[in-house]
Structure 1
Amino acid sequence: MREQTQGLSTPAKAGPGLEHIGSSLNVRDVRISGYAREITLRLYRRNTSDHLPVLLYFHGGGFVSGSLEDADFAARHLATHTPALVISVGYSLAPQFPFPAAPEDAWCAAEWMRQHAIDYGGDVRRVAVAGHDAGGSLANCLSFIARDRSRMSIQAQALFGPMLDPSLTRVGDERQLGSDITARECANSYRAYLPKVAQRMHPYAAPLESIRLAGLPPTLVLTAQNDILHVEAEKYAGMLINAGVHTTVVRHPSISHSELAEHPGALLEAVRFFQWRFDERARG
């Protein structure tokens, strides 16, 4: 399934160094104040002297698990090939820190980025978000928050197999699809993340229930064939298109939910998408 975008193009900018690890990437951890506690941001950037666009990345784990280490492969790939200053966000996890801790941590990370990214060679005029699984939900949620609070412009979002529907009324058949995740696992995650029933209709937690999708950034939705979540993700892509949001949806055959975040084809799609959006912003 695919809604074609315009042609893609490649920018050519970057920024100064952080703590050096390896021959081509600089990586540094930074602790900042989050919603309920301190959180860690992990910054990745290429060794270059120009200023790079900024990409906030959110790991998967169903809101209850996952870590910066789980996000490392995708973050390194995006930092290297986009290129971008990638800020991987170690947000708070449920059940110890339920909604809205994770979305507010995402906003704290975005606010920190707005104030400090220039110190690490980031161009805060070109900002995008991405994430896998629960991280895809949080990336999308951050786009909502940025739109609603009107303090930040996000140019693009890439959602890898996002969790978008706490009602679980749009999941695929796990046996027919051979899915590596189940509806029961998703339900357990949502119960921990959204302990109050009313939260499960909040647009930041349940974007498929939102009647206000206009004004969100151009979106790339990446799904896996062997994943019960591809149904809701593709439904959401259709809703974005109907709301006038420039949206591309790509389903990758013969791969599972967990494979999607590190799948070469999916990462290539994301790199091209961000290059196109960042280059368009630079020309504008």
Structure 2
Amino acid sequence: MADYSQYQGPSAEWVELTKTTVVPAAGPAPGQSIEDYQKAANAGREKASALSMEKLGLRTKVSQKDFQVPTRDGQSVRARLYRPADVPSEERLPLYIFFHGGGYFFGTLDSEDARCCRVALACRIAVLNVCYRHTPHFKYPTQHHDAWDSFEWANQHLADLGAQEGQLIVGGVSSGGSLAAATMLKEYRSSAECRLRGQVLCIPSLCPTELFPFDQLASKEISSLHQNADAPILPRAQRALFFNMLDAKDYSELPYSMYGTQKMDLSKLPKSAFLVAGMDALRDEALLYAEQLQACGVPTDVHIFPGVPHGFHRYEQLSATRRWDEVVNESIKWILSDAKEAPSANGTPGAFKVES
């Protein structure tokens, strides 16, 4: 039986950060409407991204172009393309299709500018940032449909995006990791030849609480859901808020990776990279899915950041955050490489890599 509680923490670095930095309480403030809560959080994310763009001079280093991506219901979502500015526009690059996090509730195009620019520069690729529609105004399955429709649109407009055919990766953070995993699985199931080189799943949400496979763990008490019921950033109440607004009436219909895949043949799934936080309620579902893929023979690279909570990477003063950026870039480069297996940890192929 699995036991991942050794990654729980908190880490010394996180403890030190909380002595000088206020970690905002999750959920709306007393008397704050859900709409104002969303606007305030998005404004904070956009400000942080803009400051990073300015600090690193990214606006002159990366070109940007916006698109309107049509959706199946006759509407459209916005997407933004990032390319290194010194790469000729006619040169085709690998394409990383990115879905932001935020519980299907937070996130804008501008809030992800710095993150996507850094990836485009470090990996010398194109990045397509898809701003899918959010709760509470849009319920499930809108977000998953938007993700798939954007993936299909990208495949049909590779020339417009300056992207190489057969060199596509899908990835995302938190709820965006769920969308990326679902897109990968749908493509794997429905296409005779998978059009994706791989996936990068960062602190992904992969299983509703009601369906969590506690029977695969040594005990319920050592599960990440139990250990992190009151953890910073994503406590149980915040997770419940996100799922309630998503309003999926039948969880069995959700295209989550941890649900409905146990009996699937996943042996030909492309390379899969995971970034997992140790003090995160979502820790175990990511690691269980990673081990499931490994058991099927899927080339899998797993990086664990022990003792830090969900979303820790928004705190730039953490050394773990700097390593996070490096791991994302390394994962993309590995997926695009000819190497089947990721670099081993301590000489053990497939072993979890614990980031210190």
Q: Is the shorter-chain TM-score for this pair beyond 0.5, marking a shared fold?
A: yes
Structure 1 152/39 Cα, relative in aligned 2: closer, same or farther at 3 Å?
farther
Once the two structures are superposed, residues 4-50 of structure 1 have per-residue CA deviations (whole angstroms, 9 ceiling, x without a partner) of xxxxxxxxxxxxxxxxx832200111112123321000110112133
* Residue 30 (structure 1) aligned to one of 64, 67, 89: 67
Q: Secondary structure at the match of 1:98?
A: coil
For residues 141 and 175 of structure 1, the distance between their equivalents in structure 2, rounded to whole angstroms, comes to: 25
CA deviations over 1:145-191 (Å, ceiling 9, x no partner): 11122175111111111111112545434558843211221122122
Q: 1:9 — aligned with what?
A: none
- The residue type paired with residue 110 of structure 2 is E
Q: Which of 157, 174, 181 is 2:199 aligned to? A: 157
C-alpha distance in 2, partners of 1:130/1:232? 17
Task: Deviation per CA, 1:238-281: give whole Å up to 9, x if none.
Answer: 11112222111111134321123772212211211221221329
Partners in 2 of 1:250 and 1:206 — Cα distance? 18
| Cα contact 1:55–1:86 (8 A) shared by 2 | yes
How far does the alpha carbon of each residue in 1:44-99 deviate from its partner, in whole angstroms, 9 at most, with x for none? 01121332100000000111222222322221111111121100001011232222
Unaligned runs of 5+ residues in structure 2 are 5-57, 213-222, 340-356
CA contact (8 A) 1:43 1:88 kept: yes
Shift of residue 108 of structure 1? Answer: 1.3
Superposition map of 1:49-68 within 5 A: 49=88, 50-68=91-109
1:69–1:254 distance in 2 versus 1, CA, 3 Å: farther
Corresponding residue for residue 253 of structure 1:
306
CA contact (8 A) 2:99 2:180 kept: yes
User: Going by fraction, where is helix more abundant, 1 or 2?
Assistant: 2
Residue equivalent to 1:95: 136
| Structure 1 Cα separation of the partners of residues 143 and 338 of structure 2 | 30
Kindly tell me the number of residue pairs found equivalent between the two proteins: 260
Q: Could you state the TM-score of these two structures normalised by the residue count of structure 2?
A: 0.67
Alignment partner, residue 77 of structure 2? 39
Instruction: Name which of structure 1's ranges 77-86 and 95-104 shifts more when overlaid on structure 2.
Output: 95-104
Provide the secondary structure at the position in 1 that maps to 2:225: coil
Seen in structure 2, the aligned counterparts of structure 1 residues 192 and 81 have a Cα distance that, compared at 3 Å, is same
Q: Secondary structure at the match of 1:157?
A: strand
Fraction of identical pairs, as percent: 25
The whole-number CA distance in structure 2 between the counterparts of 1:84 and 1:103 is 25
Q: Which residue number corresponds to residue 223 of structure 1?
A: 276
How much does 1:216 deviate?
A: 2.6
Aligned to 1:127: 168
For residue 205 of structure 1, the aligned residue among 252, 256, 267 is: 256
Task: Tell me: CA distance 1:187–1:213, structure 2 relative to 1, closer, same or farther (3 Å).
Answer: farther
Larger Rg: 2
1:108 to 1:277, Cα distance in 2 relative to 1, 3 A: same
Instruction: Summarize the Cα distance change of 1:136–1:58 in structure 2 as closer, same or farther, 3 Å threshold.
Output: same
Shift of residue 125, structure 1, vs aligned partner:
1.4
Question: How well do the aligned residues superpose, as a CA RMSD in angstroms?
Answer: 2.3
Deviation at 1:213, TM superposition (A): 5.7
Per the normalisation by structure 1, the TM-score is 0.83
Give 5+ residue unaligned stretches, structure 1. Answer: 2-20
Per the alignment, residue 77 of structure 1 pairs with 118
Is the Cα–Cα contact under 8 Å of residues 157 and 219 in structure 1 kept in the other structure?
A: yes
Aligned partners of 1:251 and 1:177: how far apart in 2? 20
CA drift of 1:128 comes to 0.2
Moved over 3 A (4+): 168-179
- Give the direction of change, closer, same or farther, for the CA distance of 1:176–1:120 in structure 2 (3 Å limit): closer
8 Å CA contact 1:221–1:237 kept in 2: the answer is: yes
Q: 1:182 to 1:219 in 2, by over 3 A?
A: same
Secondary structure, counterpart of 1:179 in structure 2: coil
